[in-house]
Amino acid sequence: MVELLIFLASHLGFLLEPDRFRIVDSQSSASFGGDAFVVLESAALCLMVVRERLEISLEFQPAEGHDDDWFGIGVARRYFHGDRPGIDDLDISSVGDVEPLIDELEAQFADETQRSQLLKDLRTAREKRATELFGKP
């Protein structure tokens, strides 16, 4: 958990600014060198920063989302920027593009008319990426 919190504060500190996101859940375990997650929430967006098997990734969903509405940040990268296949892992070289993506996701999820279309588009992008990475189910 310590490594995850250090990464969060050092590279995603903008999330912790006043009136931005609040930490609503966290968990850690000793397995695989210290797997952990932290869940942050704003009025429109829920984020989960995950440290699993020594890699850090970011997932998101609308604040009022369902269990099947979690998406890896790679899906957002793909949707907004056309990155293929879209990587969910965060490292120092890829963290710079996260803030604008989160800003855009927050804005669109906050707008009720954009939210449903964005969810539909993200589900399609997630399915397409899964098919490209793993083949047809």
pLDDT at 58: 94
- Cα gap 71→89, rounded to integer Å: 12
Please give the distance of CA 80 from its chain centroid, rounded to a whole number. 14
| Buried/exposed code over 67-82 (b: 16+ C-beta within 10 A; e: otherwise) | eeeebbbbbbbbbeee
Q: What percent of the chain has pLDDT over 90?
A: 57
Structural domain that includes position 47? 2-134
The mean predicted confidence, pLDDT, of the chain is: 88
Least confident of 21-25, 87-91, 124-128: 87-91
Task: Give the rounded percent of residues in the chain with a pLDDT score beyond 70.
Answer: 93
Q: Which amino acid is at 2?
A: V
Position 86 scores a pLDDT of 64
Number of separate domains in the chain: 1
Q: What is the pLDDT of residues 26-70, one digit of tens each?
A: 999 887 677 999 999 999 999 999 998 888 999 999 998 888 899
For residue 136, pLDDT over 70 is answered with no
Answer whether 5's CB lies under 8 Å from 16's CB. Answer: no
